């Protein structure tokens, strides 16, 4: 049985100059291209197919880090992610429980 996990990326990047804003935008675009989706501003998440996949995507993110700012990762199991509670706001489609059959393989 495959154990799905989630890789969360938290970042705080400088946006004072035009170059800083471009760097931050490129980092967000990279995350989306790598299969991450936005949970909320500066928090992105990706569903991974087991711990090896999480480690692989952490390496990919590490290879594409901006030169300044703060970027952190957190690895959680699907069960731990399901226990997250939304206190204010509306649930997004990606917040729902992940079902194994939903995984698309290309």
Using the 8-state DSSP alphabet, how is residue 88 labeled?
Answer: S
Q: What is the pLDDT of residues 1-34, one digit of tens each?
A: 668 999 999 999 999 999 999 999 999 999 999 9
End-to-end Cα separation, the chain, in angstroms: 20
More confident of the two residues 27 and 96: 27
Instruction: Read off the pTM.
Output: 0.83
Q: If you average pLDDT over residues 70-79, what whole number do you get?
A: 95
Of 3.30.750.24, 3.30.70.240, 3.40.50.300, 3.40.50.720, the CATH number of 4-81 is: 3.30.70.240
> Smallest Cα–Cα separation from 4: which of 45, 38, 47?
47
Domain ranges of the chain: 4-81
Checking if the pLDDT of 96 tops 80, the result is no
Answer yes or no: is pLDDT of 48 > 90.
Answer: yes
Where does residue 49 rank: exposed (0-12), middle (13-18), buried (19+ CB within 10 A)? middle
Of 48, 50, 33, 40, nearest to 87 by C-alpha is 40
pLDDT of residue 2: 66
Number of H helices, E strands in the chain: 3, 4
Residue 93 confidence (pLDDT): 72
Q: Mean pLDDT over residues 78-83, rounded?
A: 89
Q: Tokens 């992610």 identify what position? A: 81
């Amino acid at each position: 049985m495959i154990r799905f996990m989630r890789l969360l990326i938290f970042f705080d990047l400088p946006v004072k100059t035009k170059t800083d804003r471009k760097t931050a935008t490129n980092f967000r675009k990279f995350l989306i291209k790598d299969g991450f989706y936005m949970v909320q501003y500066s928090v992105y998440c990706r569903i991974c197919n087991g711990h090896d996949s999480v480690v692989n995507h952490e390496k990919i993110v590490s290879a594409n880090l901006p030169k300044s700012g703060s970027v952190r990762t957190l690895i959680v199991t699907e069960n731990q992610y399901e226990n997250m509670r939304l206190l204010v706001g509306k649930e997004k489609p990606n917040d729902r429980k992940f079902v194994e059959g939903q995984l698309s393989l290309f």
